């Protein structure tokens, strides 16, 4: 009952034939164990601004890091002036800059766009690539196979051993701001052969297009907190994943002129794909 409500399929502890078919013999996917499916745990995804505002060049928000982490201890976003990438894990707001540095953001740093929630996972499972690592597409498909309800939001952490990672960050901008699809050509790539660490992902339903990134959006941070950013490519060797479903969203729109004047009437799907997925 609770399980149905969350839209998470109860699965046996052995791979189903469908899963086996999907991932062939190259990937071992264990079952999906319910961790804490209490009815009361219904974390709201807090969303500040919209992806379409960011795509149009609204790179300055009023929200502070302190305010953001009061809304959730887990998530992702960016910083004012489009200064690199944000990842929030265990309540700590990390800041990946285009110079490759990883720092903890200050409480009064400001944010143009972010997605966070109180991470209260209801399901946990292991993922493993053998003999070849699971690609990002494989990882997303393996998690999607456990989410029959694609019309909710999900936050997922995937912690373990990874290979063939490419992250990116974009340098802080100066006004007048250009649209994000232009700036992404200047993104700095950070390839790494292997790392242990955590992927922080938000999955948004198709109807939230315009507000969020439909499908998966991943940032990464290494265990030693020295490496990370927006994930463009990654290989999973073995890892544990935790899923937090959310069927509540709290959307908070900036009150500034940039947001008011941003053109959010265009279909920016193509720009979004270019910005989120492509390595230049």
What does the block give as tokens for 167? 């992250």
Compute the least distance from the CB of residue 5 to its own copies, in Å.
Answer: 4
Q: Which is nearer to its own copies, 213 or 232 (CB)?
A: 213
Q: Which is nearer to its own copies, 224 or 267 (CB)?
A: 267
Compute the least distance from the CB of residue 172 to its own copies, in Å.
Answer: 24
Distance CA 113, CA 115 (A): 7
What does the block give as tokens for 192? 């790494």
Contact footprint for its own copies (CB under 8 A): 4-7, 44, 50, 52-53, 148-152, 205-211, 247-255, 257, 259-260, 262, 264-265
Q: Which is nearer to its own copies, 6 or 94 (CB)?
A: 6
Compute the least distance from the CB of residue 45 to its own copies, in Å.
Answer: 9
Compute the least distance from the CB of residue 233 to its own copies, in Å.
Answer: 25
Q: Which is nearer to its own copies, 273 or 280 (CB)?
A: 273
Compute the least distance from the CB of residue 140 to its own copies, in Å.
Answer: 15
Q: Which is nearer to its own copies, 49 or 167 (CB)?
A: 49
**Best CA proximity match to 15, nearest among 132, 135, 142:** 142
**Best CA proximity match to 143, nearest among 159, 161, 129, 126:** 126
Compute the least distance from the CB of residue 241 to its own copies, in Å.
Answer: 21
Q: Which is nearer to its own copies, 196 or 269 (CB)?
A: 269
């Amino acid at each position: 009952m609770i399980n149905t409500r969350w839209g998470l399929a109860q699965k046996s502890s052995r791979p189903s034939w469908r899963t086996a078919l999907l991932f062939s013999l190259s990937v071992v996917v264990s079952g999906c164990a319910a961790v804490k499916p209490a009815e009361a745990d219904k974390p709201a995804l807090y969303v500040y601004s919209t992806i379409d505002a960011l795509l149009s060049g609204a790179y300055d928000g009023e929200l502070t890091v302190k305010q953001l982490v009061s809304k959730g201890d887990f998530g992702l976003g960016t910083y004012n002036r489009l200064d690199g990438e944000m990842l929030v894990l265990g309540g700590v707001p990390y800041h990946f800059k285009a110079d490759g540095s990883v720092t903890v953001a200050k409480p009064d740093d400001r944010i143009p766009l972010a997605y966070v929630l109180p991470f209260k996972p209801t399901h946990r499972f292991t993922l493993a690539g053998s003999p070849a690592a699971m690609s990002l597409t494989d990882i997303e498909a393996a998690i999607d196979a456990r989410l029959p309800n694609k019309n909710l939001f999900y936050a997922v952490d995937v912690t373990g051993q990874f290979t063939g990672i490419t992250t990116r960050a974009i340098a802080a901008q100066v006004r007048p701001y250009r649209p994000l699809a232009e700036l992404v050509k200047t993104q700095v790539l950070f390839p790494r052969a292997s790392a242990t660490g955590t992927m922080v992902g938000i999955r948004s339903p198709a109807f939230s297009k315009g507000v969020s990134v439909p499908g998966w959006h991943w940032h990464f941070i290494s265990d030693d907190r020295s490496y990370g950013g927006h994930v463009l490519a990654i290989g999973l060797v073995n890892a544990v994943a935790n899923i937090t479903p959310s069927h509540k969203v709290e959307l908070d729109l900036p009150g500034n002129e940039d947001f008011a004047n941003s053109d959010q009437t265009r279909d920016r799907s193509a720009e979004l794909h270019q910005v989120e997925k492509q390595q230049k």
